[in-house]
Amino acid sequence: MILAVIENPEDCPLTLSGIEPVAARNYLSDASYSGLKGAKVFNFCQSYRYQSLGYYVSLLAEARRHKPVPRVTTIQDLKSMGIISLASDELDELIVRLLEDRPLRKFSLNIYFGRTPRKGLEVLASRLFKFFPAPFLRADFNHSCSEWYLQNVSPLSMKDIPKKEQGFASQVASEYLAGKKLVIPKRSPSPYDLAILQDTAEKRPPSDQKALKRFARAAESLGMGVEFITRDDSRRLSEFDALFIRETTSVDHHTYRMARKASEEGLVVIDDPESILRCSNKVFLAELLTRHKVPTPRTIIVHSKNVDQALADFGLPCILKQPDSSFSQGVVMACDREALQDAVRAMLKRSDLVIVQEYLPSDFDWRVGVLDGRPLFICKYFMSGDHWQIVRPGPGGCDLYGKVESLAVGKAPKAVIRTALKAAGLIGDGLYGVDLKVVDGKVYVMEINDNPNIDSGSEDEILGDELYLRVMEVFLRRIENKKSLGAGL
């Protein structure tokens, strides 16, 4: 099934032959779309801005195992000057050859599913579409130092398509939706070594300095060279064979951009960019877990059009979450109706969607560390004092944590481990921390985190140095697999 998702179909300036447009809010909230199998979703929303309706259309399409165009990785690539610079370098000869005779210092090219009405530039349009597979694009070129280069690539919304090109855009879109396939080029791997990304000034790093040193020793014991890098080393990523991110990740952040760039360069990356995207957004996780029947607290997704109806019968107290909340920030408890309404409306000013979740009280949360589809460590994270979370603000701006208790994998409830592995497997084969609660004998998944904490004396209490060695063995195996595949090409 083909779905053309448009923010406001009644305002669409194009004619899409044989396709009935779907309103974005309907696609996001109507259960009938969630159950579709194998749907191709062409996202024509006006904006793909982070946490906009357009962003969520692609995000939830991936959670539903639909095939969105653009994918969320493409949306992020279009905001990354590093990725655009990579595209410019790879297309350098073609750009110079096709634009060298143009008299102006700046030039823009509108691209519609890889095609353009500009004669002689069809090959350039097609190549750019393969780098950035989104329905409509605008590529800006600049002339500097006697040479043309790609300055920027951005989504082109329907309302910004020039009238003289609307007929061309309608025809191309209709033809593409009728069955052309998307082809995305693959990049070959780059040279070899291990970089560990850290930020020594970070308040809540995922690994303390002692744990980082133990990671480095484990890697060196397996014959890998190790260098600790920072965000300032992003241009050096091609010197390495693998990137291990031990800095708190976020989508609108250099950690994601470096993960994406490293992945494009052919490095083994943990956390990989898709895991960052998927774990960073609780709307995606809610859709994914529900779709695959992984038990979670009762959860609803609220937007400005359904807020009153959705909250009318939701039990109290409940938990409200910004889609990209982390470390208890952007997460609040509402104990009465007035507080609930106020909190939701405040959050909707920052995001088009908000998560509302049933509150399940417990003395502790289970954390199952998962790597490569296997349990790595098991911990109990106890609530901080009389607080409902494992961390709470203390005097002087310090954080107060509950105690951490580690267990051998064989000592943890089998249902907890089984549920954690199923949940993590829906994200990928990277390194994850799955948070769970057991209430009245039933296991619930609360969150799936990329970049989980591994600190000396906590998560490594049972395995000790063996934990760090297991992580590095996964890196080494993946590096060698990439090398063998590269040698066979």
- What pLDDT, in 10s, does the model give residues 37-94? 888 999 999 999 998 999 999 999 999 989 999 999 999 999 988 889 888 888 888 9
Residues 313 and 346 in one domain: yes
pLDDT tens column, 106-119: 999 999 999 999 99
| Integer angstrom CA distances of residue 475 from 101, 375, 470, 472, 486 | 48, 16, 9, 5, 16
Where does the pLDDT of residue 101 fall: very low under 50, low under 70, confident under 90, or very high at 90 and above? confident
By CB atoms closer than 10 A (0-12, 13-18, 19+), residue 355 is buried
- CA nearest neighbour of 283 among 296, 271, 270: 296
Structure tokens at 425: 């497997």
Res. 188 pLDDT band, cuts 50 70 90:
very low
Q: What is the CATH number of the domain that holds 307?
A: 3.30.1490.20
Q: Are strands 374-382 and 404-407 parallel, antiparallel or unpaired?
A: antiparallel
Residue 373 falls within a domain, yes or no?
no
State the residue for tokens 């025809």: 171
Q: Which residue from 45, 12, 11 is spatially nearest to 28, judged by alpha carbons? A: 45
Question: Same structural domain for residues 62 and 128?
Answer: no
Q: Are residues 105 and 89 part of one domain?
A: yes
Which of 328, 358, 388 is where one domain is finished? 358
Run of H or E residues at 237: none
Distance CA 68, CA 362 (A): 38
Does 163 fall in a domain? no
**What pLDDT, on the 0 to 100 scale, is given for residue 485?**
77
Q: Per-residue pLDDT tens for 227-243?
A: 999 988 888 888 899 99
Which range has the worst mean pLDDT, 128-132, 256-260, 312-316? 312-316
Residues 216 and 230 in one domain: yes
DSSP string, 465-487: HHHHHHHHHHHHHHHHHHHHHHH
Same-domain pairing of 81 and 152? yes
Together in a domain, 144 and 118: yes
Instruction: Indicate if 117 and 143 belong to the same structural domain.
Output: yes
**Would you state the pLDDT for residue 189?**
33
Are 206 and 451 in contact, with CB atoms under 8 Å apart?
yes
Q: Where among 108, 129, 156 does a domain terminate?
A: 156
Same domain, yes or no, for 134 and 95? yes
pLDDT average, residue stretch 1-10: 90
- 46 shares its domain with 81: no
Sign of the torsion formed by the C-alpha atoms of 388, 394, 399 and 402: negative
Sign of the CA dihedral with 242 first, then 247, 249, and 255 last: negative
Beta bridge partners of 378: 368, 407
Q: Can you say whether the dihedral through the CA atoms of 239, 432, 80, 134 is positive or negative? A: positive
Instruction: Say how far residue 33 (Cα) sits from the centre of its chain.
Output: 22
Mean residue pLDDT of the chain comes to 89
Residue with tokens 């934990």: 467
Q: How confident is the model at residue 487 (pLDDT cuts 50, 70, 90)?
A: low
Instruction: Assign residue 263 the CATH number of its domain.
Output: 3.40.50.20
Domain range for 254 is 194-271+473-487
Q: How far apart are CA 459 and CA 457, in angstroms?
A: 7
Rounded CA-CA distance 291/1 in Å is 19
Residue 91 belongs to some domain of the structure: yes
Residues 91 and 46 in one domain: no
**Residue 384 confidence (pLDDT):** 83
CA distances from 437 to 271, 384, 434 (A): 25, 16, 10
Contact 350, 322 (CB under 8 A): yes
**Assigned domain for 418 exists:** no
pLDDT tens, 347-381? Answer: 888 888 888 889 999 999 999 999 999 999 999 99
Point out the domain boundary residue: 45, 75, 105.
75
In a domain, 410, yes or no: no
| Helix or strand (DSSP H, E) at 356 | strand 354-358
Q: How far apart are CA 356 and CA 222, in angstroms?
A: 46
**What token pair was written down for 163?**
């009238």
Report the candidate in 225, 200, 224 with the shortest Cα–Cα distance to residue 212.
200
Task: With respect to residue 214, please indicate whether it lies within any of the assigned structural domains.
Answer: yes
Q: What is the pLDDT of residue 486?
A: 64
Tell me which of 313 and 56 has the higher pLDDT. Answer: 56
Cβ pair 95, 151 in contact under 8 A? no
| Structure confidence at residue 187 (pLDDT) | 37
Per-residue pLDDT at 183 exceeds 70: no
* CATH of residue 15: 3.40.250
Q: 326 to each of 7, 124, 193, 323, 450, how far by Cα in Å?
A: 29, 41, 31, 9, 11
pLDDT of residue 180: 52
| Residue carrying the six token digits 């939706």 | 177
Burial-class residue 124 by CB neighbours within 10 Å (0-12, 13-18, 19+): buried
Q: Is position 386 within any domain?
A: no
pLDDT for the residue 190: 33
Tell which wins on pLDDT, 280 or 420. Answer: 420
Inform me whether the pLDDT recorded for 34 exceeds 60: yes
User: Is residue 443 in a domain?
Assistant: no
* Strands (E) located in 81-146: 106-112, 136-144
Task: Kindly state whether residues 67 and 116 are assigned to the same domain.
Answer: no
Q: Look up residue 71 and give its DSSP letter.
A: -
Q: Judge if 65 and 95 occupy the same domain.
A: no
Q: Which of 487, 477, 461, 479 is nearest to 214 (CA)?
A: 461
pLDDT at 72: 92
- Looking at the predicted structure, is the pLDDT value of residue 321 above 90? no
- Beta strands (DSSP E) in 259-298 are 268-270
At 420-456, the pLDDT tens digits run: 999 999 999 999 999 999 999 999 999 999 999 999 9
**Domains contained in the chain, number:** 4
